[in-house]
A and B are shown apart, each in its own frame.
Chain A
């Protein structure tokens, strides 16, 4: 059994890593829960954003917050474009899953053709910065990531709960026809939500560029975990996705510390399967 300090450190880094799961899960949860579209290309969009941030940063010396100001709106536009396709062909959940799967593959190939399959790393002077709190180290970037994820999740949650637009969206998710009969312009809202989901992928991508080493195949590494997070956090619930992200991040990190790093992928799915066995109506 590892020492208490080690476990504590594992817990902290786990929760912080979980912030990334939550942030990636946010956009996914919204489109799946409220639009009934499963967007597997969400991960590819995040990596596209990360590569763009990397490109702008290393070749043009653009600071990541400035590149985010360009990349995030661009992602919003891609989200609108994708939704136009879904809308035009009245795509259902399963077809959306297959189409976005293919779209992700095409993006992966495009990324590999332009940036090659080599590992890319965006070096900044603050990438290794950390705060020391007692015996524990807290990496600053991850802390910022978690704060941003928290603000976005909470803001989205309030938006869905409190405003007319949010209520209209939730009503349309329950029954689009009835909502339309009461004057909800579901189509316009769906476009807004799709754009927003893609924009969140852009935000996640900025942080991926700063924190992770980039390679085209990495697109798929978070797929399983984040889907588990989205289901555990309940579809369409932004705060749920965030907290599920923290939960899974922490449990993975503890599993790595106690057993072996290679066992981490089993954790999220075991939690997911356990929840579904306990309550099949969960998802």
Chain B
């Protein structure tokens, strides 16, 4: 019974709340309640829409007033100047705001390494620009806009009731959107972007598109909320619409409630709105503002994750205390017979050059890797091994040359496309998504890297690789709770869950002790036995000789030697680049 009861209880509660609030105007409460509850809905919608981009993906915007304001003035202009009906202007307001958001995103998200605080200030700057334009054009003209002549639709008999209902519908819609984003690929991708954008892209998340989608959605909801709010306010001014308190409160509410949870901003919004209302009705609006500021400071310093996640974590810890943790022993992996190496080349690297300013990191590298082969990539420090891995996985665009996978050119393809074509990689220093459990880390890579599958299949697949790499029992742990050895194996599990055709391993063995190395070598063999082609960068010669079918030596960005492991490693020229000429006997 347990599963179905715990799953259906929140659903029942949500349905109950919706029915209750929908029927509330029929109870004939004084108009005061209508307008207070409208304000709660208003802030829930705004704060939740802010969190869609800023909380989920981690790009803090201080420009939410711009999108809200564009929506407000779209509705105002369409109704008062063009005589449109109110209701159809709301989706137009949403569209205009979304357009602005996507437009800004298309510019700023192209910047490499857009720093968070810069994004925050740029969005703030946009608010000033939009406000100035509206102030100086006939949209407002500085005189303000009266909305009183615009007829409200007859949803409910009273005007306050109708506005209440509009705000309520908007609020339910917004929360519904937030919930479905969290439980979709988009949400998963956004959370990954929040933790480590480069890795998200390498694992197959189309980061640019996802950020744009989140920005458009966030701005669009704010625009629709603004359109409705125009009717509530009645008289619009630029100063009142593009107020700094909009971004301040929205950030505060989300951060307080928990910006990474779909319901967090709603919790914060309800609390803060009630607090502000208490101060305003007590005639102490200014003091209320100061107290809100104080709460924000305290919240950021002591509860950086927000109230809701803190409660969730506390509940989880209690549940874990009740259920003793099962720690499975590491299962040794027995390598089945290796697959024969095929004649067909899976990876073709031709004349690949990569320059960083004056530094020639790769200088015309040619390399073929045959299907089902294990190729060891060695060379002294700075010889270009990791750069080549980065180039193949699409992290760096090539300066010149071409790279083909299965005959398809990928030299200029974005990293997430390459990941979808079956290339997976690990990082020398593990880069797990810090706020996701081990299971979520692996599931994300299965979702975005591998073939399309159902949620249950992805979970099974992820669990399979977690067991395969000996991480079972740790699937609910956060990466911070793993030791280096386990984190290296998590890197492997993430790469494997994408079911790669080509697996690029960047020093998976460094930092491991001899027993762990033996285990890792067995793992790599087992991976190959399942049909993957492997290129691995390694300094540990024992592993290179044991594992590789062929070894490629890079030196100063050029392919220096290529051949069977033992012969290459005995080649005096190779010895001399490693140890200096004196040893090259």
Contact = CB atoms under 8 A, between A and B. Distances in A.
Contact of A102 (B60, B111, B296): B296
Given A224-B128, A265-B129, A266-B133, A93 B115 contact: yes
B390 to A, nearest CB: 19
A263 B133 CA distance: 8
Nearest to B60: A94
28 contacts: A85-B301, A91-B301, A94-B60, A94-B116, A94-B117, A98-B296, A102-B248, A103-B297, A105-B292, A105-B293, A109-B286, A109-B290, A224-B124, A224-B125, A224-B128, A262-B132, A262-B136, A262-B142, A263-B136, A265-B128, A265-B129, A265-B131, A266-B133, A273-B107, A273-B125, A276-B122, A280-B114, A281-B112
Interface string B267-311: 000000000000000000011011011101100110010000000
B250 to A, nearest CB: 12
Interface of B: 60, 107-108, 110-112, 114-118, 120-122, 124-126, 128-129, 131-133, 135-136, 142, 244, 248, 251-252, 255, 286-287, 289-290, 292-294, 296-297, 300-301, 304
Contacts of A97: 60, 117, 120
A163 interface: no
Q: Tell me what chain A mostly uses at the interface: helix, strand, loop, or mixed.
A: helix
A99 B290 contact: no
Given A103-B297, A260-B136, A266-B132, A98 B251 contact: yes
A263 B136 CA distance: 7
A105 B125 CA distance: 19
A163 to B, nearest CB: 28
Contacts of B136: 260, 262-263
A106 interface: yes
Contacts of B124: 223-224, 227
Contacts of B128: 224, 265, 269
Interface string A80-110: 0000010001010111011101110110011
A276 B251 CA distance: 26
Contact of B118 (A105, A231, A262, A263): A231
A136 interface: no
A35 to B, nearest CB: 12
B300 A276 contact: no
A277 interface: yes
A94 B62 CA distance: 11
Contacts of A169: none
Interface in A248-283: 260, 262-263, 265-266, 269-270, 272-273, 276-277, 280-281, 283
Contacts of B108: 276
Given A38-B117, A105-B248, A277-B107, A262 B286 contact: no
A112 interface: yes
A220 interface: yes
